[in-house]
Structure 1
Amino acid sequence: MEAMAVQLKGVSKMRKRRMIGPIDLNIPEGYVVAILGHNGSGKTTLLNMLQQIVLPDAGEIRWFGQTHVGELPLDIKQQIGFVTDGAVEENHVTAKDAARFRAYLYPRWDMDLFNRLMDEMEVPQDVKLIKLSKGERRKFEIAAALASRPKLLLLDEPSSGLDPFAWKTMVDQFRRFMDNGDTTILIATHIADEVKRLADYIILMNRGQCLGIAEKDVVLDQWREVWYEGDLKPESIPGAVESYREAGGLIRVITTRISEARERLDLAEANILKVRNLELDEVLEFWIAGYAPAQWRSPKGDDER
């Protein structure tokens, strides 16, 4: 049975403008999982509840198979890394001193890894953190989070403050770090390109609700827009979510199951003229509208077909 890094059952939290949840979710160990959603969808609240910075109003959270009420015990905290805009209390110390302090907090701290990452990302260690640029501060936070060798790494909008070249470097660092295979990374983002480069799974949040978790490759591989000629009615095509008959008899259909759709079209001897991959943001809009990806994984870990 697949081990779970985090499990949420009926977890909810009332915020100023909306209820977040109830959320039922199983996150498997050893993968990069992207939490996608518009601003205000509940992504940051979910990450904060996983750290117990924000306590849920109801429901149960399990970390590595353990349940805790209230503040997390130290041994669990030491297994969780988090990247945000940075701790204010560290502003007036250098990156080097901040790293030495964090080394006392995390038993698995890897100073060699921290120094290598800081060198590769060209972040000065003898400058006070408050004097670093926003991008340099974000690089420091990422280097420090990775150096703690966490079992669970939570990233809230990790590319904030980074230019495209710096973010590509970060993606390479995350991939190298994941080679160890014992870390789970959760990335809260609204940028689809970050997901395409890094994630194994996608969690979609919308208006405080979790709409499920799906394998990224399945989502991107199976959603297609197809143009064809023939007598086959588009509604009979497997996974069809939208169709339009153009002048001259040309039919355009969007399907969540391109493999089965091709078989059906071939069987009907339809003439396929063009097939286009949907962009991830297009898929997400359909998902929000109620068309869950084919072969998706439900929040409770059961497969739906």
Structure 2
Amino acid sequence: MMDETIAIRLEGVEKNRSNFRLGPLHMSIPKGCITAIVGPNGCGKSSSFSLMLELTKSDTGTIELLGHKVGQGRNTELMKRIGYLPEQSSEHEDNMKGTKKAEFYRFWYDSWDVNRYRELLRILEVDDNGTLGKMSKGMRRKFEFALALAHGPELLLLDEPSSGLDPLAWKTMIEILHRYMDQGDHTILMTSHIIEEVKRLADFIVFMAQGRVLGMYEKDELFSSWSTLFISGDELTAKKAAGAPGQCGVEHAGGTTYRITTNKAAEAEKWCASEGINIVSRQALELDEIMSALLMQDRLSKRLK
């Protein structure tokens, strides 16, 4: 039975290559939200997009976009409801003028809005009369971003959207995406290495590593639950602290101070109070620190198997 609250569903999706295995992927991306996939380079983020868009075929599993299964006959009408910004521009289009590529998009998408397209070019300060291969990386990125949005897609797939953008253009892109989401029925799935970008945009965060999904979290809950607690005591206190809820590591921080990394901050604080462990200070973890802790947990779980 179709779940109308889900924009993208991956169930047991795998793609095997000679030097890399993607999956099995299990992922449910909610409608009306922005979900960011984060992870190290080469973890399978871009490959996952390719599978969703049938640019490559999965070996096993099922993929659903906007309630339609991918890979069962022609998906032309479905793809018209999707906007896609790949991480890398196509070298085959380097000799093409921006106006020519826009004409192609206008032919392909029934809902192409030339007024919206021209508005986006104006806001982003892009001249589409130039040859694509002669545009700077940032200018071409802005042009292709405008193309991805101009037909009013229901689902927007953005692979490192801010790559090559200067700070002012990046801020403009963030504002455009916020306005895009204001309609309430739009969904964005994006990848990003920019922590501030994820913080500003994402409602949910998916962590990936080595071709697998490590977990999916609601952003505000994620940042409130992952913390470092600095405690005072001796080695016996540190050993005792290993029993703290959500404990992901206890390390010596110098002198008589130790730090506990936990993904259950509120529970860990209450536990420390009940155990008579003095918390000196607290520090919320940044996204990259959470990613490192998850990777460490993943490596440890593999060793124990």
TM-score, normalisation: structure 2:
0.87
1:284-295, aligned counterparts within 5 Å? 284-290=291-297
Q: Does 2:68 align with 1:79? A: no
Q: Matched residues in 2 for 1:18 and 1:127: separation?
A: 38
Distance in 2 between residues matched to 1:193 and 1:15, nearest whole Å:
33
Q: How many Å separate the matches in 2 of 1:11 and 1:134? A: 33
Number of aligned pairs? 292
Q: Superposition RMSD on alpha carbons, in Å?
A: 2.3
Who is 1:220 aligned against? 223
Residue number among 166, 170, 179 corresponding to 1:163 in the alignment: 166
Alignment partner, residue 261 of structure 2: 254
1:196, 1:72 → 2: CA distance? 37
Quick check: 1:206 aligned with 2:213? no
Instruction: Please point out which of 101, 110, 131 is paired with 2:113.
Output: 110
Cα distance, 1:266 vs structure 2:
3.4
Aligned equivalents of 1:99, 1:71: Cα separation in 2:
27
1:272 aligned partner: 279
- Partners of 2:277 and 2:116 lie apart in 1 by 57
- Deviation by residue 1:224-267 (Cα, 9 ceiling, x = unmatched): 11112366931332212111356664332111111222222334
The residue number in structure 1 matching 2:302 is none
Please name the residue that 2:303 is paired with.
none
- Provide the secondary structure at the position in 2 that maps to 1:153: strand
Which residue in 2 is equivalent to 1:295?
Answer: none
Code of the residue aligned with 1:288 in structure 2: it is: L
Task: Specify every segment of 5 or more residues in structure 1 that has no aligned partner in the other structure, as ranges.
Answer: 293-305
The one-letter code of the counterpart of 2:52 is: L
Any idea what the Cα deviations from partners look like across 1:143-200, whole Å, max 9, x if unmatched? 1111121122111121222123322221121111111122221112334333222211
**Could you say which residue in structure 1 is the equivalent of 2:14?**
12
Distance in 1 (alpha carbons) for counterparts of 2:76 and 2:224:
42
Partner of 1:176: 179
Alpha-carbon distance between aligned partners in 2 of 1:274 and 1:138, rounded to the nearest angstrom: 43
**Aligned-partner Cα distance in 2 for 1:68–1:270:** 54
Amino acid at match of 2:164: G
User: Within 5 Å, which residues of 2 pair with 1:34-73?
Assistant: 34-69=36-71, 72-73=74-75
Match of 1:243 among 247, 250, 257: 250
Contact 2:52-2:70 at 8 Å conserved across structures: no
- Structure 2 gaps of 5+ residues are 300-305
Task: Determine which of 142, 146, 152 is the counterpart of 2:145.
Answer: 142
With normalisation by structure 1, the TM-score equals 0.87
SS class of match (2:89): coil
Q: Which amino acid aligns with 2:9?
A: Q
